[in-house]
Homo-oligomer: A and B are copies of this chain.
Amino acid sequence: MSFLDEVKFDANGLVPAIIQDHANGRVLMLGYMNRDTLKQTIEGDRPVLWSRSRRKVWIKGETSGHIQKTKEILYDCDIDTILIKVEQIGPACHTNHRSCFYRRIDKDFTSTEIEPVIEE
């Protein structure tokens, strides 16, 4: 059985993919892949995502230039989550923050921005 047959895609045919900065371990974003884009990701040099909102293949940086280069692909015990370590050029987030996780939520439910927007 091939790896792709072992992956547990969800009811929508998708598997979540955590994208992590290989240089410092920072979690950058969470994306989703279908069987085709996961195959392309493993065989290629960049994560290939499936945009759930736009319902199309999505390679980060194609328009912004903020590309991701795949360094290592890991997968979890249940084979239902992918972890991709990348070299991230520029901000990963469409808000121009380095990571999509740029806000903290505290016990009293107050929210705090923990990093600045990257000026270019």
Contacts and interface: CB of A to CB of B under 8 A. Distances in A.
Interface of A: 2-4, 16, 18, 20, 24-27, 29-30, 42-43, 72-78, 81, 83, 93-95, 97, 100-107, 109, 111, 114
What copy number does this chain have within its complex?
2
A33 B102 CA distance: 20
B107 A43 contact: yes
Contacts of A78: 100
A110 B72 CA distance: 13
A52 to B, nearest CB: 9
A78 B106 CA distance: 18
A100 B29 CA distance: 18
28 contacts: A4-B109, A16-B16, A16-B30, A18-B18, A18-B27, A18-B30, A20-B25, A20-B27, A24-B25, A25-B26, A27-B83, A29-B76, A43-B107, A72-B104, A73-B104, A73-B106, A74-B102, A74-B103, A74-B104, A74-B105, A75-B101, A76-B100, A76-B101, A77-B94, A77-B100, A78-B100, A81-B100, A81-B101
